[in-house]
């Protein structure tokens, strides 16, 4: 069971889960290719990069936005929807071409929640804003 599912409070439901873009796997692929030259010495780094992405959870519920990182340990960034002030998209040239970017959710008096190298950042922004500001 995922962290997001485990941490749901009463009457809380998952609205959307966000996956990293395939571009996020590029460092892992580069470490694998470098391993061919270094006789496999960098494959442990590639495995670490894979596991880092495998255990990354990003999503929004009807009450909060959540980013959970960690392979063995756990680090989470969470923000209640009522605290959200802005949802910003950051995309470079490659991000615009290939369809990935970062989403920064800023709230009142608390740290930001950042979704990095996320697939289709505009859809993620719409999903977060759609849950936090429902249209009646």
CATH of the domain at 113: 2.30.29
Q: What are phi and psi for residue 52, nearest 5 degrees?
A: -60, -45
Please indicate, yes or no, whether the overall pTM of this predicted structure exceeds 0.75: yes
In a domain, 9, yes or no: no
Residue 98: per-residue pLDDT: 95
Q: How many CB atoms lie within 10 A of CB 80?
A: 13
Annotate 90-128 with DSSP letters as a single string.
E--HHHHHHTEEEEEEEESSS--EEEEEEESHHHHHHHH
What per-residue confidence (pLDDT) applies to 23? 93
Coil, helix or strand at residue 9: coil
Domain residues for the domain of 113 are 16-132
Q: Is residue 70 in some structural domain?
A: yes
Q: What is the CA radius of gyration of the chain?
A: 17
Q: Residue 136: what pLDDT? A: 53
pLDDT tens track, the chain, 136 positions: 799 999 999 999 999 999 999 999 999 999 999 999 988 899 999 999 999 999 999 999 999 999 999 999 999 999 999 999 999 999 999 999 999 999 999 998 778 999 999 999 999 999 999 997 766 5
Please report whether residue 8 resides in a domain: no
């Amino acid at each position: 069971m995922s962290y997001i599912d485990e941490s749901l409070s009463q009457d809380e439901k998952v609205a959307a889960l966000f996956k990293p873009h395939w571009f996020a796997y590029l460092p892992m692929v580069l470490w694998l290719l470098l391993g061919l030259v270094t006789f496999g010495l960098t494959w442990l780094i590639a495995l670490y990069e894979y596991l880092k992405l495998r255990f990354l959870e990003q999503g929004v519920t009807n009450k909060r936005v959540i980013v959970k990182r960690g392979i063995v340990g756990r680090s989470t960034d969470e923000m209640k929807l009522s605290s959200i002030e802005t949802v910003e998209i950051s995309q470079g040239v490659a991000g615009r071409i290939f369809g990935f970017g970062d989403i920064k959710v800023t709230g009142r008096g608390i740290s930001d929640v950042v979704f990095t190298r996320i697939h289709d950042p505009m859809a993620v922004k719409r999903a977060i804003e759609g849950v936090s500001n429902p249209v009646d």
